Every structure is written in C-alpha cells, then in structure tokens.
Amino acid sequence: MSIEQFIDNEVKSNDVVLFMKGTPQFPQCGFSGQVVQILDHVGVGYKGLNVLESAELRNGIKEYSNWPTIPQLYVKGEFIGGCDIIREMFQAGELQQLFADKGVTLNAAASA
C-alpha cells in the first residue's frame, strides 16, 4: 500500500482524523496540542496519527491535502484545516456546527 493509499484509507474510514505531531495523549508541538484541546473540549472522538513516526507520512499528508503545515484535521473525508482555522471555527461555534452537519456524534461536551 502506498502512503497516499494509506492516508486515503485513514481519512475515509474514520469520521474524524487528526494528522499531528505526537499523539493525542502527548502532543509534541503547540499547534497539535491546541487542536487536541479543542477536539477534547468539544467532545468528539477522533483518530490521531503521529507524523513524526514517519517522514513518508509527514510528507505524504502535505501532498495529499496540498497544505504545507501540520496538524491537519479531516472530518468525514473532508480536509477542514490546520490549527488557526480550527481555532477560529471553534471560537465562532462553526466547528461544533460542522460536526453536527456531518452527523458526527459528540460526547457530552464540557461547558464553556
């Protein structure tokens, strides 16, 4: 399986996927950490893929999305954006609405 096939499979077989530096339990960059905090706060289940484990994955996801930075969030197969976009969407309430529109189940989200 090529790296592109691997990425495509992960994006299409998981409702929410975060390509990040580190893991959800141990983010290894501030931007990845911010997105993890937002997703955890919203209460969405997601799969985190650590791009630091593989240069092939780190480069492959940038080519796949045509987006130069990590982290990258995908919801139901659609590329949503990186840290700045996710943070802005969250602050505006758009991220929560996106999950609702896409039919992604949220756990009881923590109160703001």
Q: In sequence order, what DSSP letters do the residues of 51-98 get, joined into one string?
A: GGG-HHHHHHHHHHHT--SS-EEEETTEEEE-HHHHHHHHHHTHHHHH
- Is 83 known as a binding-site position? no
d(CA 6, CA 101): 26
Strand partners, 42: none
Residue 67: how many other CB atoms lie within 10 Å = 15
Known binding-site residue numbers = 29
Known binding-site residue numbers for [2Fe-2S] cluster = 29
